[in-house]
């Protein structure tokens, strides 16, 4: 008889097995917790690498949403490459330049590619030029390397109804582009110099991003629209293909074996404030008229 309760044989103790069981339970609970967090968007887990697809759609008037996603996927180690899905006719100069610069920075850390949709022209192409590889469909509308500053004159209409526009200004050119007076030769010269300067910035960005001689870019930087097939022949596009082709190439360039998992930004919820802000921006652009430069 062993020591213990008289007349009852004790079961042998197994502390090692009990410890292993506790460890398995703790690890299981830990991984279940991490899995739950990852599904809520807190962390990213994947046995294979991911390719992020960021849409750039419509008029380019605000760079912040795209830059936010570029930074987010740039800091995610599970994302091995990024694809910009561009469907844009262009937009503002500054927003296009801001996105271009952020793409250039990210491209130094991981591959960024472009997939062109129906149209990726002017400001849309400006952004694409910063990526490592550009895919387009044969019929994609692209190119349009140029700058425009639109103006509207109401002078004749205002005078016809008996009104006269006047302005008190601090300098000769302070009301330049006013729809209430004729544009003078001096006005046109000043505005043309601004347009030409921004145009050269566009040309330089394309030449640097696409590694094309500046003089070759200048030959086609007259605002002309090109098909994807024409753009490829001129070196503005690397390959013809759709989004799936671009994602597959991005996976290869990112060192992903097998089919990459595609991740996209969550759909942005549009609030009443967003609608009012966009409406206000459109109204301001309309009021400014010629004071606003456009890459379209």
Residues belonging to the active site:
122, 174
Give CA–CA dist 129/125, Å, rounded.
6
Is there a contact between 95 and 285 (Cβ–Cβ < 8 Å)?
A: no
Is there a contact between 265 and 56 (Cβ–Cβ < 8 Å)?
A: no
Residue in the block written with tokens 């937009």 = 91
Task: Give the CA distances from residue 213 to residues 179, 218, 220, 222, in Å, rounded to whole numbers and listed in that order.
Answer: 40, 9, 12, 16
- In a 10 Å sphere around its CB, with 0-12 CB exposed, 13-18 middle and 19+ buried, how is residue 223 labelled? middle
Distance from the first to the final alpha carbon of the chain: 96
Residue 110 C-alpha from the chain's centroid: 15
In what helix (H) or strand (E) does residue 73 lie, and over which residues does it extend?
Answer: helix 64-74
Sign of CA dihedral 176, 182, 186, 187: positive
Give CA–CA dist 143/146, Å, rounded.
9
């Amino acid at each position: 008889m062993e020591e213990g309760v008289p007349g009852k044989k004790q079961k042998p103790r197994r502390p090692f097995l009990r410890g292993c069981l506790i460890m398995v339970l703790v690890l299981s609970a830990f991984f279940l917790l991490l899995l739950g967090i990852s599904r809520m968007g807190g962390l990213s887990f994947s046995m294979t690498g991911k390719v992020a697809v960021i849409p750039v759609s419509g008029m380019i008037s605000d760079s912040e949403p795209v830059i936010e996603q570029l930074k987010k996927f740039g800091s995610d180690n599970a994302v091995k490459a990024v694809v910009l899905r561009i469907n844009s006719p262009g937009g503002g100069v500054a927003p296009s330049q801001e996105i271009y610069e952020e793409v250039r920075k990210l491209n130094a850390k991981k591959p960024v590619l472009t997939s062109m949709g129906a149209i990726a022209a002017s400001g849309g192409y400006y952004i694409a030029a910063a990526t490592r590889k550009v895919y387009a469909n044969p019929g994609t509308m692209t190119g349009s390397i140029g700058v425009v500053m639109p103006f509207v004159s109401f002078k004749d209409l205002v005078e016809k109804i008996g009104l006269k526009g006047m302005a008190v200004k601090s300098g000769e050119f302070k009301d330049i582009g006013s729809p209430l007076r004729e544009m003078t030769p001096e006005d046109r010269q000043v505005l043309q110099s601004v347009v030409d300067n921004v145009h050269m910035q566009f040309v330089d960005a394309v030449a640097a991003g696409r590694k094309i001689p500046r003089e070759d870019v200048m030959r086609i930087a007259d605002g002309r629209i090109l098909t994807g097939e024409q753009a490829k022949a001129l070196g503005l596009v690397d390959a013809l293909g759709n989004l799936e082709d671009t994602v597959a190439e991005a996976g290869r360039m990112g060192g992903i074996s097998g089919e990459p998992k595609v991740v996209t930004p969550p759909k942005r919820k549009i609030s009443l404030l967003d609608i009012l802000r966009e409406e206000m921006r459109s109204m301001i652009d309309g009021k400014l008229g010629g004071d606003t430069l456009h890459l379209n």
